[in-house]
Structure 1
């Protein structure tokens, strides 16, 4: 094979094998396709070169040294066993810090350890289960709104992000959530799209240049910051006015997540400052609603496309709940619905890629990674890998029975990351999603509208275009629906 139009041949050279990858015209083709359809590029790279692949270029205005990791063993090494060597020092995380601050997603070292120590008690299973009632209320509100859907048809790419954002704002801000939703709904997508584009573009203009795009992003960021700072100030003032004695005596304590964050303290009364509180809120908004929305939209779409699975899920919901609103205590009993959600997140990964930068030379899945290289762990490829997932294009919730999960490597499925930096909100996301699915299946039967979408071939939910489902209201309304309508 020609070295100008092929691959770097793998071979031993010191510890680990040299990482293969395209060169010459194949590299140019890969780089051109990377921006238009990274999923297609990465899956072809895995098929042609294996489980660790290098995309390297040193061209005028572009230097690229990207190492793609597709295997479960490689993901485990980068995210867990060698995590100290793979840091969030790359361009993407720097751009996220500039937009949303230095919260749990982006902080490192002592700052991260301190934040995690203060915030972890707010995300224990017992504490998260306390948010179930708020999630159920939002799910029932969504089901009621769907009763007036034009032509009894909904677009899941619009409905599920809106639901996830409302639910998250309600849990974060409590009584302030209605005002917060309007601002977040208007500003967060602008700033997120801007941030992702800057993180994925080799050459960008300075943020302070007054281009129209820079100015729109700056205005969105300013409005989000002002919202958070105002609510934090009002909440802190309210707590001070009530006083610690009133709170300890059973006064009106804040029981939303922001109130708990303000009250969180560690050794020597260490607590989060105003800027840190804002950074955590913004990171929760960024990381906490889009991922949940993707899982929900894909689960509903796949159930609509597979009526036998939908019937089985609905039978479980009816049997377990007998018409009442689901709660945290029902999660374990809704086992099949949980498997549906996990399979949906395998097929359309909410977090397709996780990026890091190597601090020192390392060996990942038997291949040599040089210090300074950008490394991307590609869950969206791993979760289609035929070594772990026979017939990976097929929708099959039985892949996630306890027996099946025990037979697979831990990092064959990792939509919530892994290692010490695994998503702190994993249980909350799963709980919120299963409860929402249960409420919607109590109320409706779903059928797909339009052509089948190419599952798993896009990075974000909205890239699929509209995902529409037709709703048929069930004749026997559950008891929770009757109570909601009456109240």
Structure 2
């Protein structure tokens, strides 16, 4: 039953072996995703991992099964909150928007924002995505040696697309600021979020000064555009910021300027790195699998011909959508999800004590052999309707789930399918880099080049 907790029959979760005094601290710092995989393979679906010296030690309860993920995110979601240190660092840097807010703050924000993310409203952004994709495609005609780094290129595309949809005509000014400031702030969040102890942000250290300057520049740029919208100096249009500024209800009022900035920053954070990751790995996986690439390109050509894809085409491109979903299985943009337990709870026959840090890992669940035979193999046919119907709902959860599921998931799928269709119609791909190291950041981080050689539709290499 939703909200019910069980402690009577649960047993203690097995612990992953670590080193004396520090546990798995160094393993988590050097390769957290590999550490979580190893924990599941050795000890099952609920595993306890300790990290750090006595007095500063963290104890993580890792839940790897689809059924456990559903319990944490959906059926008992009220018992698992975003109260951990990592979310607090994100909150302190990017504001109290939809990703980080809780309780009545979250419910009020969700009620105000939800009407802006209906399918009809989101489908209206298809032309903006197509325009930004067209610009990227044109730029590749001059790629030196016909080689492009799809990781870098998709990050640029996704940032420009979400900035255009958020800010409309103010896209150019904001893209440069975000591109310059976000890496400084996200690296800072990661260092502090995973550290057992932190100095106050107000201390005048070089790192604190550097991130304070980046936050000030980012906040100032957003505040300027917001002030223009609210004052009427800039005409309100159909961009998302204008709609957010106009959002109101008799029960929830409206967003003030600071709340608007929080929402904008969270949408920028969650809306470009995640989609960029999915796009980049879709292209790179197809570059390494020519047969699947040919099948996707044939579908695109048959369905679209020479016309620009529209939102209605998503249902007409089932194989391309399967490619995207399989890329998101192997490389989920949010590879790790954290929560904190309120009350003691039984998950998978193991007891998770009250106040515990709880880790869900799509990176691991998406590779769980119970749901995914030969889990490391790229196979888009895992996502036919028949195959999906035969798996638990939370065997695949790149957008989270339950009442805190990503509000932008339809937009992400729309953007990704449209962009992939246009790119694959224009170019064939051959992988240059075949081993792509990744790690867990706020989103999945690529730690090396993701280069592909591209050939135009005629089969000739671009130059």
TM-score, length basis structure 1: 0.90
| 1:461-476 equivalence runs, <5 A | 462-475=445-458
Cα deviation per residue 1:82-102 (whole Å; 9 max; x = unaligned)? 100001111011111110110
What corresponds to 1:89 in structure 2? Answer: 83
Larger radius of gyration: 1
User: Displacement of 1:273 after TM fit?
Assistant: 0.8
User: Displacement of 1:27 after TM fit?
Assistant: 8.3
Gaps in structure 1 of 5+ consecutive residues: 1-11, 242-251, 478-487
- Contact 1:20–1:49 (CA<8 Å) still a contact in 2? yes
- Contact 1:453–1:464 (CA<8 Å) still a contact in 2? no
What corresponds to 1:48 in structure 2? Answer: 42
Question: 2: distance between equivalents of 1:217 and 1:142?
Answer: 30
Tell me, yes or no, if structure 1 residue 441 matches structure 2 residue 419.
Answer: no
Tell me, yes or no, if structure 1 residue 36 matches structure 2 residue 18.
Answer: no
Question: 2: distance between equivalents of 1:465 and 1:101?
Answer: 30
What corresponds to 2:399 in structure 1? Answer: 416
Match of 2:262 among 279, 296, 302: 279
| 1:313-328 equivalence runs, <5 A | 313-328=296-311
What corresponds to 1:237 in structure 2? Answer: 231
What corresponds to 1:306 in structure 2? Answer: 289
How has the CA–CA distance of structure 1 residues 372 and 268 changed in structure 2, closer, same or farther, with 3 Å as cutoff? closer
- Contact 2:74–2:402 (CA<8 Å) still a contact in 1? yes
- Contact 1:362–1:368 (CA<8 Å) still a contact in 2? yes
Cα deviation per residue 1:315-366 (whole Å; 9 max; x = unaligned)? 1111111111111010100111110000001111100111010111111122
- Contact 2:438–2:446 (CA<8 Å) still a contact in 1? no
How has the CA–CA distance of structure 1 residues 24 and 38 changed in structure 2, closer, same or farther, with 3 Å as cutoff? closer
Gaps in structure 2 of 5+ consecutive residues: 1-5
| 1:96-111 equivalence runs, <5 A | 96-111=90-105
How has the CA–CA distance of structure 1 residues 349 and 24 changed in structure 2, closer, same or farther, with 3 Å as cutoff? closer
What corresponds to 1:142 in structure 2? Answer: 136
Question: 1: distance between equivalents of 2:10 and 2:140?
Answer: 56
CA RMSD of aligned residues (A): 1.9
Q: Greater shift after overlay, 212-221 or 460-469?
A: 460-469
Question: 1: distance between equivalents of 2:456 and 2:401?
Answer: 40
What corresponds to 2:352 in structure 1? Answer: 369
- Contact 1:232–1:274 (CA<8 Å) still a contact in 2? yes
Match of 1:201 among 195, 198, 214: 195
TM-score, length basis structure 2: 0.94
Question: 2: distance between equivalents of 1:170 and 1:473?
Answer: 27
| 1:65-464 equivalence runs, <5 A | 65-238=59-232, 253-267=236-250, 270-450=253-433, 452-454=434-436, 462-464=445-447
- Contact 1:103–1:279 (CA<8 Å) still a contact in 2? yes
What corresponds to 1:246 in structure 2? Answer: none
What corresponds to 2:3 in structure 1? Answer: none
How has the CA–CA distance of structure 1 residues 319 and 24 changed in structure 2, closer, same or farther, with 3 Å as cutoff? closer
User: Displacement of 1:426 after TM fit?
Assistant: 0.1
User: Displacement of 1:462 after TM fit?
Assistant: 4.3
Question: 1: distance between equivalents of 2:216 and 2:447?
Answer: 30
- Contact 1:316–1:334 (CA<8 Å) still a contact in 2? yes
SS where residue 394 of structure 1 aligns? coil
Question: 2: distance between equivalents of 1:401 and 1:92?
Answer: 36
User: Displacement of 1:26 after TM fit?
Assistant: 7.7
* Number of residue pairs aligned between Structure 1 and Structure 2: 454
